[in-house]
Chains A and B, each alone.
Chain A
Amino acid sequence: MLNYLFRRLNLLFITAFILSVIAFILTYWSSKNTLADADAGYIIQYVKYMSAILQGEWGLSSIDQQPMLIKGLTAFASTLELCFIAFITANIIAIPLGIFAGLNRNSLLDYLIMTIALIGLALPVFWLAVITTMLPRLLGIPLPIDGGISPVFEIPVVSGFILLDTLLAADTYQLDAFFNRLAHLILPSSVLSLFLITEIIRLTRHSITMVMKSNYVKAAYAKGLSRKEIVFRHVLKNALPPIIHQLRLQLSTIISFAMVIEIVFSLQGSGVWLLSSIKEGDYLALPTAILIISGFILLSSIFIDILLMIISPIKRKSLYVD
């Protein structure tokens, strides 16, 4: 177990080192005129930079003199919130659809579901987001299309996850602010979840098909189990790990799509933050965003690995390989 963790962490350190070098180069390039000891060697400066980063001193924003780290984390929390909502929605919708398609492979239902999934795959997210901003007006649904929460509500930033913060501020606004935030998230997360739905349907369908072909399922049929029992007892459990594994690879795509969608919907988050910082010439936001976002992706991919190891016996084998 320790051996395995050590191997994973090893990979983490190498990747983190490369990322920190990129971040350092960006920082150096954006603020070389303001560095105190610009004459010192690159290595000394890098060491100093890293020690400052590790102590949490990520520099100040040139726009409002606020600490970069806090700004970056707050913005990223909002992006994560969007991703999370979209992820939940997508799972609720896509996993059942994928299972149906996988179980009834090459049936009319399968073709129908896969057609929808392919259409979803073919639509560019940016275009879809722009079209979605027109939907409320066309359909007459009173949904907001701009911003993260109505400016009527002043929500103090506690966790950065605005849904949580609105609940914490429930003394002032009851649940109005919470529902307002939720309403603001519906359209952006629908767009983001469409991409995820497509992805999850395809993965689930494939995974279910594979499992259904396997010998133990055939054996289960031979044992006389009903189809329902087979699906719930054997198929689902074994189909899940490959899906999680594949979704891990999509994590960075999801986050970058979320950032694009944020910009279309003016939803405060890392996409909007990064864009406006660059527009205002606050280039320190670039390395900050690289470190935060890639750091998150690295950590979560390791976390998912460990999770897979716990739930999947096949993966667990890798524990004992030296």
Chain B
Amino acid sequence: MRFLFAFTITLLLSGCYKNESTLTDSLIYCPENTPQSFNPQISHDISTLDATTHQLYNRLVKIDPITKQFIPDLATHWQQNDNKSSYTFFLRKDVNFHQTDYFTPTRFFNADDVIFSFQRMLDKDHPFHSVNRVTDSYFFNHPFTNLVADIIKIDDYTVKFILNKADVTLLANLAAHYGVIHSEQYAQNLLSKGHPERIDFYPIGTGPYKFKNYEIKGITRYLSHPQYWGGRPTITNLIFDVTPNNTKRYAKLLSGECDIMTYPAPSQLNTMSVNPSVVLSSIPTANVALWSFNSVKKPFKQKEIRQALSYAIDQKTIVNAVFFKSATATDTLLAKQSWAYNPRSAELQYTPQLALQMLKENGFDFNNIITILTPIDHSVFNPNSHKTAELIQANLFDIGVSSEIISLPHSELEMRLASGNYDTYLTGIDVHIKDPDSLFRPLLSCDATILEGNSSQWCSPEVQDLLDSTLLEPNFIKRIKNYYQLQDIVQQERPYYPIAHVLRFDAFNQNISGLHVNALTGIDFQNVRKIEAQ
């Protein structure tokens, strides 16, 4: 009796507790991971993009989500010269940078900011070029180094990009997440204070939200930017509350502790889709889950062994059991929606007998235990790496190959990968722009390290040559042909076994509208509206 009484009293007390869903000026977004920094120029993981690209910054141009055309962002319009080797951008006037408690801008956005943002990547002598060791990553300046020769300020609101040679990918690169514009004045301010490293962690941009603070437990707070040139957003407090556990994210969404969540567990998709109070949005991405073979280590040096193992894997079962409906099974690395996709790629066939025969013919040592390295946490490429590894293990066991699964936490995994001591690795890759180069280069280029994506340690002069020449190839038909050829080689050589192309899922409550998610650049809260939940 007393227990019931006490419990009722506490429940009555909790009546004073107001659920977050009643606060229409605050929006809580529950992502899966913490951002690595607040600058998408230097961090390319999806959590960073979600936390920065659309919220804090603007780019010169962006891609219209519906028509897929380039539309103005900070540049109002642009011109290209006749041979497409230079582009002139006319900048928007009266654009305010964020005013925060760590920086107060005294001038509007102008050409200096554009030049600063890109010269940091291009100019090796730039004072910010190597701040925060960003140059350690090959991808920091890669997209622009071969592309842009110089950026010239014509007047305060006109800049000219001069290209090394005619190239059509400039606009796509400017619309990518790393094309964001930083404040030059803020950078100078930091430099004079002697803290240039703060530029990537205390961001100043022109976007609809400004950075407020970040707590180590994974909470990022933003405030709306009152002088935003595109109109002040209706949400005043934007809060990112990192919740790594996907069951809990869903529970929080239902209880109103989260308004929007990202990456629901694939196993929950069915229950979510029938829940009338939750809206589920999905978009296809070019991100692919892979099983990579360490091509410099025996026995995977041999092409036939790699091929044989790929015949032994029952891909359909893996996709059904692990990804449910959150991914589509694939035969190729490149997604079908890409313009460079080769429709005549060889299909992956599940033929264990053939696999066994090939292994025997090529003198595979069946006493050898091969290692399957997996990350211990689920990643954006794979909701359950360990289960995938177990299914692969079972498939391998069927043809008499014994294997060992090694699941490691992130930091130890990186060490193990860097040491090169693994046979196979279950991973994936996320793609930043629509250009196929952004998929193939990290996976297949000799310059890409294991941690950057080349976990097969693949390096062949033929592939490297194709990669490099295609990037600079002005003829579009020739580019497509080159990529067809590249895909044929990859299908033949099989350094990677593609498992599935993943979809990006976001779920939100009925009282949220206006959310836009871009598969490449992240989530966009600019036009989100929230009404009081019933």
Answer yes or no: A150 CB below 8 A from chain B CBs.
Answer: yes
Answer yes or no: B325 CB below 8 A from chain A CBs.
Answer: no
**Which of B53-61, B121-129, B235-243, B476-484 is near enough to bind chain A?**
B235-243
Kindly provide the distance from the CB of B194 to the nearest chain A CB, expressed in whole angstroms. 17
Which chain B residue shows the least CB distance to A141? B11
Q: Mark A248-282, 1 if CB is under 8 A from B, else 0.
A: 00000000000000000010100010001001010
Max chain B Cβ within 10 angstroms of own Cβ: one of A93, A141, A150, A276: A150
Contacting pair A146 B257 (CB below 8 A): yes
Q: Mark B394-410, 1 if CB is under 8 A from A, else 0.
A: 00000000000000010
Q: How many residues of A contact B (CB 8 A)?
A: 36
CB neighbours of A53 from chain B (8 A): none
The one of B213, B216, B255 in contact with A136, judged by C-beta atoms closer than 8 angstroms, is B255
Kindly provide the distance from the CB of A255 to the nearest chain B CB, expressed in whole angstroms. 20
Kindly provide the distance from the CB of B460 to the nearest chain A CB, expressed in whole angstroms. 37
Majority SS at the chain B contact face: mixed
Kindly provide the distance from the CB of A163 to the nearest chain B CB, expressed in whole angstroms. 12
A143-B255 Cα distance, complex, nearest whole Å = 8
Contacting pair A179 B13 (CB below 8 A): yes
Answer yes or no: A145 CB below 8 A from chain B CBs.
Answer: yes
Kindly provide the distance from the CB of B262 to the nearest chain A CB, expressed in whole angstroms. 16
The one of A97, A136, A143, A175 in contact with B16, judged by C-beta atoms closer than 8 angstroms, is A175
Contacting pair B251 A145 (CB below 8 A): yes
The one of B221, B245, B252, B255 in contact with A142, judged by C-beta atoms closer than 8 angstroms, is B255
Answer yes or no: B14 CB below 8 A from chain A CBs.
Answer: yes
Which chain B residue shows the least CB distance to A184? B17
**Which of B2-10, B283-291, B336-344, B505-513 is near enough to bind chain A?**
B2-10
Within 8 A of B (CB), among A266-313: 266, 268, 272, 276, 279, 281
Contacting pair A147 B255 (CB below 8 A): no
Q: A97-B2, A152-B23, A266-B243 are in contact. Are A146 and B13 (CB under 8 A)?
A: no
The one of A96, A146, A151 in contact with B248, judged by C-beta atoms closer than 8 angstroms, is A146
A136-B17 Cα distance, complex, nearest whole Å = 14
Kindly provide the distance from the CB of A293 to the nearest chain B CB, expressed in whole angstroms. 20
What would be 26 A-B contacts, judged by CB atoms less than 8 Å apart? A63-B216, A89-B6, A92-B6, A93-B3, A133-B248, A143-B255, A144-B257, A145-B257, A146-B248, A146-B252, A151-B239, A152-B20, A152-B237, A152-B239, A154-B221, A176-B18, A179-B17, A180-B18, A182-B16, A182-B17, A186-B10, A186-B11, A266-B245, A266-B248, A268-B217, A279-B409
> Which residues of A are in contact with B by a Cβ distance under 8 Å?
63-64, 89, 92-93, 96-97, 133-134, 136-137, 141-147, 150-152, 154, 175-176, 179-180, 182-183, 186, 190, 266, 268, 272, 276, 279, 281
Kindly provide the distance from the CB of A188 to the nearest chain B CB, expressed in whole angstroms. 12
How big is the B interface, by class?
Answer: 35 or more
A142-B10 Cα distance, complex, nearest whole Å = 13
CB neighbours of A143 from chain B (8 A): 14, 17, 255
Answer yes or no: B411 CB below 8 A from chain A CBs.
Answer: yes
A151-B239 Cα distance, complex, nearest whole Å = 7
Kindly provide the distance from the CB of B106 to the nearest chain A CB, expressed in whole angstroms. 28
Kindly provide the distance from the CB of A77 to the nearest chain B CB, expressed in whole angstroms. 15
Contacting pair B2 A183 (CB below 8 A): no
Contacting pair A147 B241 (CB below 8 A): yes
